[in-house]
Amino acid sequence: MPPSKDALRRAYERHFECWNARDREGWISLFDPAITFDDPVGVPTKRGLEAARRQWDASFTPGQEWKITPRLTYYRGDEAASVIRNLGVIGEKRFDFETIEVWRLGESGKFVSVRGYYDPPAEVDAYFHAPGQATR
């Protein structure tokens, strides 16, 4: 049975809460073991909980921090789609850009896919173009 709209909304809101509070374990717990990340769309798909861990670790290296805020969001079926404001710092450089993201919640109540549409900053681009790994 697909998740309810309320369950989808709660899980999606929890994603932002955990990310912005730098709660790594809480954030990773939101994902199904078979999660796929197309982040950004067009680079190799990253798979599994190890990919979620690497996503987190690549975003919060020393001297780097990101805060994310949903703007326009639609909840339809098992997906949440948003325009998201990304505020980041890498060393002395500040970033402020928007992404379009689609998150799909599985029957387990955990996210099974994430698709992001944007051009990553050059400072983090190498991570996003790294080969995907089928890990569980």
CATH architecture, range 5-121: Roll (3.10)
Q: Are strands 111-117 and 31-38 parallel, antiparallel or unpaired?
A: parallel
Burial class (CB in 10 A: 0-12, 13-18, 19+), 122: exposed
CA distance 11 to 7: 6
Lay out the sheet containing 111-117: strands in order across: 46-47, 31-38, 111-117, 93-105, 79-90, 64-76
Per-residue pLDDT 10s for the chain (136 aa) are 889 999 999 999 999 999 999 999 999 999 999 999 999 999 999 999 999 999 999 899 999 999 999 999 999 999 999 999 999 999 899 999 999 999 999 999 999 999 999 987 777 665 555 555 433 3
- The structure's pTM equals 0.89
The conformation of residue 43, written as its DSSP 8-state character, comes to: B
Nearest to 13 by CA among 75, 100, 106: 75
CA distance 87 to 67: 5
Instruction: Sketch the domain layout of the chain as residue ranges.
Output: 5-121
Torsion, Cα of 64, 88, 112, 30 (10° steps)? 70
CA distance 46 to 130: 9
